[in-house]
Amino acid sequence: MIVLAPAWSPTTSLLLLLLLLSPRLRGAPDCSFPHSPISSTFTSTIGKLSDYLLQDYPVTVASNLQDDELCGAFWRLVLAQRWMGRLKTVAGSQMEKLLEAVNTEIHFVTSCAFQPLPSCLRFVQANISHLLQDTSQQLVALKPWITRRNFSRCLELQCQPDLISK
């Protein structure tokens, strides 16, 4: 009886090892951007939306996100992107186009596998003008780092610890 064995070459073994070590196969989420998803025209896009909105339209913003140099801006964009999605569902057709344009600027955050929002997160009411201004500031803050950093450790929003007063 003759038994045929697969022909394993050093190249095949190396490819198999690389596949097994791949972060996506190990279950480790990857949240990095080899090319910048942040356009050079985001301030204009956000400005066009601002021109058409009631500046005192109420939205909620997180009041107790952890201060984190790398993740803070990313987390705020995640929350802003959720607002853009909600606003699009109640907007008229013209406003929906403007909201979609802003959403397109920040939609890249949805390519990362975020954990559900933590129960410790607290929200306060703010004007939409504050949310849009903050969104623009977060894009400015991320632009120089977006292709240089891996945001995988940012996939779970963190709350500031509660201060217990005695």
- Alpha-carbon distances, residue 53 vs 47, 94, 100 (angstroms): 10, 11, 14
Of the candidate ranges 11-15, 56-60, 133-137, the one whose mean pLDDT is the lowest: 11-15
Max Cα distance, the chain (Å): 83
Residue 81, domain extent:
37-154
Residue 20 has pLDDT above 70, yes or no: no
Does residue 122 form part of some domain? yes
Classify residue 155 by its DSSP letter. S
Reported confidence tier of residue 13, pLDDT bands at 50, 70, 90: very low
Q: Evaluate whether residue 4 is within a structural domain.
A: no
**Percent of the chain clearing pLDDT 90 (strictly above):** 67
- Domain with residue 75: its CATH number is 1.20.1250.10
In a domain, 134, yes or no: yes
Mean pLDDT of 134-150: 96
Question: Contacts from 94-101 at CB under 8 Å and sequence distance 24+?
Answer: 94/52, 95/52, 95/53, 98/48, 98/49, 98/52, 99/49, 101/45, 101/48, 101/49
Residue 15 pLDDT > 90: no
The one-character DSSP state at 125 is: E
Question: What's the average model confidence in pLDDT over 81-100?
Answer: 92
Instruction: Give the other-Cβ count within 10 Å of 110's Cβ.
Output: 14
Whether residue 25 lies inside any domain: the answer is no
CB 102 within 8 A of CB 45: yes
Q: Does 5 reside within a domain?
A: no
- What total number of domains does the chain contain? 1
Give me the pLDDT at residue 26, please.
42
